[in-house]
Amino acid sequence: MNDLRRLNPKIVAVALTIALIIVVINALSTGAYTISFTELLKVLFQGPATNSGTDSVSHAIFWNVRLPRVILAIVVGASLAVAGVVMQGVFRNPLAEPATVGVSGGAAVGAVIAITLGLSRITLGVQVFAFIGGTLATAVVYGLSRVDGKTDIVTLILTGIAINALSGALIGLAVFIADDDQIRTVTFWSLGSLGLATWRAVAMVLPLAIVGIALSTKFSRTLDLMALGDRSAEHVGVPVERVRLQTIAIVGLLASSAVAATGIIAFVGLIVPHILRLVLGPKHRDLLWSSALLGAIVTLLADLAARTLLSPAELPLGVLTALIGAPFFLWLLRKMRSSESTWT
Amino acid sequence: MTSTTSPVIKCENISVIRGSATILQQVSLHANRGELVAILGPNGAGKSTLLGVLAGDLEPDSGSVHFGNRQISQLDNRELARTRAVLPQRVNISFPYSVEEVVEMGRGPKLGADDQNLVESAMLRLDVSAMRNRLYRSLSIGEQARVSMARILAQDTQLLLLDEPTAVLDIGQQEKLMRIVRSLVDEGRTVIAVFHDLNVAMSFADRVILLQNGKQVASGAPRETLTASTLSSIYEHRIDVIKVNDDTGPIVIPSPRSRD
């Protein structure tokens, strides 16, 4: 008898890479101003340098608007999906996700506090505050949701609700205090958008994402062993307490830096790992890399939809992912309740 | 590896106190190579606590635990994992891992070259090779128990600590599992197991220790130790020990007559 209907990870990796390339090309050419494929290649090989006179509109849009936005979408999507995988592994629960448990909310609060304090002029000021807020929220959620060494899922979700409510309130308070300019940025943080993508944002998030994702792959085997539960994981040689702290720091790093660049984009970290677990099985070695790829694809597609569906108006990306993600979350919740063993 | 002269594991005067309650009081125990020691006693006697102390999960309030010549506190997680494997009463595994993947978890954080052989032979021994591609969560409780046993066998340690390994098994599965455990012991491994079923201990253990209210009340070879009078007093019910024939050990049954 064989319960395993899993696909070969190598085939999935190739398929996802091809899909990513196709989506990237589409995202680069589609928008308020269409750039044809041949023109894409032309401006790509022209390089970013501006030669006065010969520059086309396509060149400017490609290098200054589309490309940083696409790269940021890839980086943020990969970060959020990997953060989701790691968090689900360490919490031993597929419902854990940076946004639903309040990490993204915490990071957004950190960012908003930094903005209202006028720290956005300082290099990395917003990012550092987002990181502190996100990591703090992760630690609180984790500390509160554990009962007798196990993560209690009901408490986990409830803690997430409380933290999200608190961050909503704090962001509201910041809006109350803030001047008009700041309000615009604050709103951006709570709704989530790639609309402010710049090379500067890419430069800030990319190194953190690379470090976070690379570090998380070091834990792929350990995260598998965590599925045994704390006690049994310890019995086979996992230093559970240390692993927990390290992986939570990684989640904080990935989710917070993503939120610092784009605001709260919910549910990517929930949907992507879930789909891939169905396709590949739960082993983290495969799950981490494939989630990075699919996270990038999903975020790119969502952003493409956000800026083309109601063009020329642009939907906030976070709103769009929540519109798709929340029903999915409810469906998952229902599915899990019907099979009791999946709760822990 | 432990030398043949000193016990594989030895604990002396273990006491565990929780608040005002004494869970274990001055309990001592040792086990040698090729020995199966059963920990017995009524509910709440402290059996699982004692196993937890031996596993290194709990630090006793007084007393010492030694693996060979080394004190347990000197060993880190990884060294402990190479020294002893622990079978808990029930393992819930999150996420849909396959049987083979679960058994492989016994190999711990760092997978090496000979790991696959140990995984294969553990699966073969527990007769779970045929279900290697099934999901652990889709198995019956009895099958899960066998897979978990294969997992701790794959850990390849001298010492195995088993917490009620037969509790969820039917009589046939129980017999099968205990024969495997016994054959491991006969090959030189050391097993310390908590049992509820006195007959399992009677048939398979080399030595038993009986706990009552955290105190060690008797220990020794099962046939000498598990007597009607000792058991009746510990379990607070009249218990008979009946000899069936010369081939099988005596069987323990609660008496149909009430205690005098």
pLDDT at residue B258 greater than cutoff 60: no
For tokens 């030595």, name the residue.
B207
B173 with B252, same domain: the answer is no
B171 with B249, same domain: the answer is no
Q: What is the pLDDT of residues B194-224, one digit of tens each?
A: 999 999 999 999 999 999 999 999 999 999 9
Average pLDDT over residues A1-11: 83
Residue of chain B whose Cα is closest to the Cα of A239: B77
Average pLDDT over residues A124-142: 82
Contact B41, B235 (CB under 8 A): no
Contact B194, B44 (CB under 8 A): no
How many domains, in total, are found in chain B?
A: 2
Q: Say how many Å lie between the first and final Cα of chain B, rounded.
A: 51
Residue B30 structure tokens: 């040792």
What integer pLDDT is reported at residue B5 of this predicted model? 63
pLDDT at residue B43 greater than cutoff 60: yes
Pairing state between β B190-194 and B35-40: parallel
B162 with B237, same domain: the answer is no
Q: Is B106 on the interface with A (CB under 8 A)?
A: yes
> For residues A26 and A139, which has the higher predicted lDDT (pLDDT)?
A26
pLDDT at residue A272 greater than cutoff 80: yes
What integer pLDDT is reported at residue A341 of this predicted model? 42
Contact B154, B85 (CB under 8 A): no
Range of the domain at B111: 9-226
Chain B interface mutation, best of A236, A243, A278, A283, highest count of B Cβ atoms under 10 Å: A236
What integer pLDDT is reported at residue B25 of this predicted model? 95
| ipTM for the complex shown | 0.92
B243 with B132, same domain: the answer is no
pLDDT at residue A15 greater than cutoff 90: yes
Residue B145 structure tokens: 């128990």
How far apart are alpha carbons A226 and A232 in whole angstroms?
8
B118 with B216, same domain: the answer is yes
Confidence category of residue A181, pLDDT binned at 50, 70, 90: confident
B154 with B222, same domain: the answer is yes
Average pLDDT of every residue of chain B? 91
Q: What is the pLDDT of residues B105-159, one digit of tens each?
A: 999 998 888 899 999 999 999 999 999 999 999 999 889 999 999 999 999 999 9
B217 with B240, same domain: the answer is no
Average pLDDT over residues B231-259: 82
φ, ψ of residue B47 to 5 degrees: the values are -60, -50
Q: Is B55 on the interface with A (CB under 8 A)?
A: yes
Integer-rounded Cα Rg, in Å, for chain B is 19
Q: Concatenate the DSSP letters of all residues of A194-224 into one string.
A: STT--HHHHHHHHHHHHHHHHHHHTTHHHHH
What integer pLDDT is reported at residue A337 of this predicted model? 66
Average pLDDT of every residue of chain A? 86
Q: Domain limits of chain A?
A: 9-343
Nearest to B105 among A3, A93, A236 (CB): A236
What is the distance in angstroms between the Cα of A32 and the nearest Cα belonging to chain B? 43
The 3-state secondary structure of B6-72, one letter per residue: CCCEEEEEEEEEECCEEEEEEEEEEECCCEEEEEECCCCCCHHHHHHHHHCCCCCCEEEEEECCEEH
Which of these, A124, A293, A280, lies nearest to A203 by C-alpha position?
A124
What integer pLDDT is reported at residue A1 of this predicted model? 58
Q: Which residues contact A44 (CB under 8 A, 6 or more apart)?
A: A62
pLDDT at residue B4 greater than cutoff 70: no
What integer pLDDT is reported at residue A342 of this predicted model? 44
Share of chain B above pLDDT 70, in %: 97
pLDDT at residue A53 greater than cutoff 70: no
User: Is B4 inside any structural domain?
Assistant: no
Comparing A27-31, A92-96, A123-127, B226-230, which segment has the lowest mean pLDDT? A123-127
Residue A270 structure tokens: 């929930």
B77 with B161, same domain: the answer is yes
CATH superfamily of A9-343: ABC transporter involved in vitamin B12 uptake, BtuC (1.10.3470.10)
> For residues A143 and B191, which has the higher predicted lDDT (pLDDT)?
B191
What is the distance in angstroms between the Cα of B229 and the nearest Cα belonging to chain A? 38
Q: Cα B33 vs. chain centroid, distance in angstroms?
A: 15
B219 with B235, same domain: the answer is no
Average pLDDT over residues B65-88: 93
Does A341 contact B137 at a Cβ distance shorter than 8 Å? yes
B158 with B251, same domain: the answer is no
> For residues A205 and A294, which has the higher predicted lDDT (pLDDT)?
A294
Pairing state between β B62-67 and B70-71: antiparallel
Average pLDDT over residues B44-59: 94
B178 with B246, same domain: the answer is no
User: Is B3 inside any structural domain?
Assistant: no
Q: Which residues contact A140 (CB under 8 A, 6 or more apart)?
A: A102, A106, A159, A163
Comparing B57-61, B90-94, B192-196, which segment has the lowest mean pLDDT? B90-94
B19 with B91, same domain: the answer is yes
Does B86 contact A235 at a Cβ distance shorter than 8 Å? yes
Q: What is the pLDDT of residues A244-254, one digit of tens each?
A: 888 888 988 89
User: Is B1 inside any structural domain?
Assistant: no
